[in-house]
Amino acid sequence: MIQTNCIQNPPISINPEIMSGTPVFQGTRVPVQTLFDYLMDGCTVLEFLDNFPTVPQEAALELLSYAAQQVASKEAVA
């Protein structure tokens, strides 16, 4: 069984002075959407991290865990 930690605050930052308020990984200017775009294009998390070395691996994994928790906590829509 996989044990997941409940992540209350994902490792993102939203500041109107950074990337016009686009959600980015904390301490970077890398939009979180970029990670999802990479994954949707068939790339791995490691490929994303190789291309965006300012994003800590832990932050990328925490964001994915947070997203999974959000999806799992919502009721299925028929």
* pTM assigned to the model: 0.81
| Residues with Cβ within 8 Å of residue 39, at least 6 apart in sequence | 45, 48
What confidence tens digit (pLDDT) does each residue in 63-73 have? 999 998 888 88
The pLDDT assigned to 9 comes to 76
Helix (H, G, I), strand (E, B) or coil at 25: strand
β-partners of residue 3 are none
What confidence tens digit (pLDDT) does each residue in 10-52 have? 899 999 999 999 999 999 999 999 999 999 999 999 999 999 9
Nearest to 66 by CA among 2, 21, 1, 11: 11
By CB atoms closer than 10 A (0-12, 13-18, 19+), residue 17 is exposed
The pLDDT assigned to 7 comes to 61
Query: All domains of the chain, ordered by start, with CATH?
Result: 12-70 (1.10.10.10)
Nearest to 67 by CA among 29, 15, 28, 23: 23
